[in-house]
Amino acid sequence: MDSGDTAWILVSTALVMLMTPGVGLFYAGMVRKKNAVNMIALSFVCLVVVSIIWVAYAYSLAFGSDVAGFTGDLSYAFLEKVGFDPLDGMTIPHLVFVIYQMMFAVITLAILTSAVAERVKLSSFIIFGILWITLVYAPFAHWLWGNGWLAKLGALDFAGGMVVHISSGFAALALAFVVGKRGGFGEYNIEPHNIPMTLLGAALLWFGWFGFNGGSALAANGLAANAIVVTNTSAAVAGAVWMIIGWIKGKPGSLGIVSGAIAGLAAITPAAGFVDVKGAIIIGLVSGIICYLAMDFRIKKQIDESLDAWAIHGIGGLWGSLAVGIFATTSINEFAGLINGSVSLLKAQIIAVIATVIYAFVVSYVLAKIVDAVFGLRVSNEEEYVGLDVSQHEEVAYA
Amino acid sequence: MKKIEAIIRPEKLECVKKALEESGYVAMTITEVKGRGEQKGIKLQFRGRIMDVDMLPKIKIEIVADDEDVEEIINTIIQNARTGKYGDGKIFVLPVERSIRIRTGEIKS
């Protein structure tokens, strides 16, 4: 047990917790004002629902004893046998690890509310969310972090490029196909109603990401410091790339700058404990370009994955996870990527990325179809027209 | 001279604005307003109870135009703001005594 490590992971837990309402504010600013309360509320709903199922059984499914490489068992259900003593190889209480990991599950579900912005029935989203954490998030966490089949294969995911970003991004795409476009999408402009709110949300995300990636070292050490340095660098480079693209096309819009930064943050996440700052610059640079192109593609194809979880988190996470296999260096951690003469890591990363993309998309699509068929995922046209703030919460953001 | 006041759906503003501009009517004032028509807003059924939502958000467009332009402006607004459902809004035409351009003091009546 190490009190310094424990203190840092407790602080990181708090930092990551703040990212979830941060996602809420980030998204709320980009929707119309009649849906602002709902967008933030959905993030808080993720916080309350996932917090409960995580301690009840989801932590155990993710990190319990391995069952066939696919899932954990229920030995830690209701935090049975989880106490103050560290797990093997760790220096923090097991309980601290549980709640730190909980915050990852919470924000992952919050990210995918992007897909259903301004049109989801709250009750159905809760049901979908519980099923999704159980059948998509928990298995992914097990596969990569709970000694599941991808971990055994040698795939690496430092802070959640696949577990968090590919899973939420590609699930969002699947969910968007099932729930359908917002009324009026493609016919008239659906403008962001409060850009400062989005910027505030982005600030909380960037701030929290230091705990997200820095905390994933699970210790207060040099690796945590490296994770924070490369995280900040990648975010800054990708933000600069979007700013330049915006400038070339017209004005450097603030929404573009922060969207780029978040693309850079998502992309560096799987790599933060394996690459140095040179790798981070390239990861940020490429993520800025490809996430922008993905967003452009989505808009051209008229897909209403409304707030770009797929383009930013899905594609960013996909690129970053592959980048681990390219830029990992033994000067930071024990693993070497392609440019340091090893092919095997890149192979494992490619297999892991393909598996997570397909599983996240297909299972999320099937779950969404089932929830839609049984409960209906979407509000009525009239409820959508007056906005979800009134129809789902009987509240308004601005009187 | 007449003043045209059109109450329309907020999401229709962009296409109404664009169509009016293409017909040569650029000047306008818009206000975000709330109101209800003869349907008294709408009723939502939500989790077994009924909720009245009256005072729906709308946009008011105000345009002052010469008498001979009024019909074209009205038709343009109707064509671009209509969905065919309740809540599409209404247009009012009012007489205007005179207008004064503040910059030059020019008076039209």
Q: How far apart are CA A238 and CA A285, in angstroms?
A: 5
What pLDDT score does B45 carry?
A: 62
Residue A324 domain flag: yes
Which residues are paired to B30 by β-bridges? Answer: B61
Q: Count of A–B CB contacts within 8 Å? A: 29
- Within 8 A by CB and 6+ apart from B22, the residues are none
Q: Average pLDDT across each block of 10 residues of chain A; the chain has 399 residues. List them in order.
A: 97 98 98 97 98 98 96 97 95 98 98 97 97 98 97 98 98 98 88 96 98 98 98 98 96 97 98 98 98 97 97 98 98 96 96 98 98 96 90 88
Distance from the A169 Cα atom to the nearest Cα atom in chain B, whole angstroms: 29
Is B96:B4 a contact under the CB 8 Å cutoff? no
- Within 8 A by CB and 6+ apart from A108, the residues are A137, A160, A163, A164, A167, A168
Which chain A residue has the Cα nearest residue B17? A188
User: Is B14 in contact with A189 (Cβ distance < 8 A)?
Assistant: yes
Residue A399 domain flag: no
Residue A263 domain flag: yes
Residue A398 domain flag: no
Max alpha carbon distance in chain A (Å)?
61
Rg of chain A taking only CA atoms, in angstroms: 20
Q: Is B19 on the interface with A (CB under 8 A)?
A: no
Which chain B residue has the Cα nearest residue A33? B57
Residue A150 domain flag: yes
Residue A65 domain flag: yes
Distance from the A383 Cα atom to the nearest Cα atom in chain B, whole angstroms: 7
> Domain count of chain B?
1
Q: Which domain holds residue B50?
A: 2-108
What pLDDT score does A373 carry?
A: 98
User: Is A123 in contact with B47 (Cβ distance < 8 A)?
Assistant: yes
Tokens of A202: 């982005």
Nearest C-alpha neighbor of A262 from the set A302, A310, A297, A216: A310
Is A234:A55 a contact under the CB 8 Å cutoff? no
What pLDDT score does A73 carry?
A: 96
CB nearest to B14's CB, from A123, A188, A386: A188
- pTM (two decimals): 0.92
On chain B, the residues whose CB falls within 8 A of the CB of A390 are 44, 51, 53
Which residues are paired to B92 by β-bridges? Answer: B5
Q: Is A376 on the interface with B (CB under 8 A)?
A: no
Nearest C-alpha neighbor of A102 from the set A207, A209, A2, A20: A20
On chain A, the residues whose CB falls within 8 A of the CB of B85 are none
Which chain A residue has the Cα nearest residue B83? A184
Residue ranges of B 81-100 with Cβ closer than 8 A to chain A? 87
On chain A, the residues whose CB falls within 8 A of the CB of B50 are none
Residue A174 domain flag: yes
User: Is A189 in contact with B56 (Cβ distance < 8 A)?
Assistant: no
Q: Is A383 on the interface with B (CB under 8 A)?
A: yes
On chain A, the residues whose CB falls within 8 A of the CB of B44 are 380, 382-383, 386, 390-391
Residue ranges of A 258-277 with Cβ closer than 8 A to chain B? none
Is A162:A317 a contact under the CB 8 Å cutoff? yes
User: Helix A315-327 crosses helix A167-179 at what angle (to 10 degrees)?
Assistant: 160
Residue A233 domain flag: yes
- Within 8 A by CB and 6+ apart from A235, the residues are A206, A209, A261, A262, A264, A265, A268, A284
- CATH label of the domain that carries residue A253: 1.10.3430.10
Q: Is A394 on the interface with B (CB under 8 A)?
A: yes
Tokens of B16: 């109404």
Q: How far apart are CA A4 and CA B77, in angstroms?
A: 67
Q: Is B52 on the interface with A (CB under 8 A)?
A: no
Is A67:A142 a contact under the CB 8 Å cutoff? no
Q: Is B11 on the interface with A (CB under 8 A)?
A: yes
pLDDT-flagged residues of chain B (< 70): 41-49
Note the Cα A326 to chain centre separation in Å.
22
On chain A, the residues whose CB falls within 8 A of the CB of B45 are 380
User: Is A188 in contact with B11 (Cβ distance < 8 A)?
Assistant: yes
- Within 8 A by CB and 6+ apart from A179, the residues are A115, A116, A119, A120, A368, A372, A377, A378
The count of other CB atoms within 10 Å of the CB of residue A145 is: 21
Q: Which domain holds residue A163?
A: 3-393
What pLDDT score does B38 carry?
A: 76
The count of other CB atoms within 10 Å of the CB of residue A197 is: 22
Give me the amino acid identity at A325: G
- CATH label of the domain that carries residue B59: 3.30.70.120
For tokens 């301690």, the residue is A55
> Domain count of chain A?
1
What pLDDT score does B49 carry?
A: 65
What pLDDT score does B46 carry?
A: 58
Distance from the A372 Cα atom to the nearest Cα atom in chain B, whole angstroms: 17
User: Is B42 in contact with A188 (Cβ distance < 8 A)?
Assistant: no
Q: How far apart are CA A225 and CA A118, in angstroms?
A: 39
Residue ranges of A 8-37 with Cβ closer than 8 A to chain B? 34
User: Is A189 in contact with B57 (Cβ distance < 8 A)?
Assistant: no
On chain B, the residues whose CB falls within 8 A of the CB of A380 are 44-45
Dihedral over Cα of A21, A23, A25, A28: its sign: negative
Distance from the B56 Cα atom to the nearest Cα atom in chain A, whole angstroms: 7
Chain A interface, best mutation among B46, B58, B85, by max A CB count within 10 A = B46
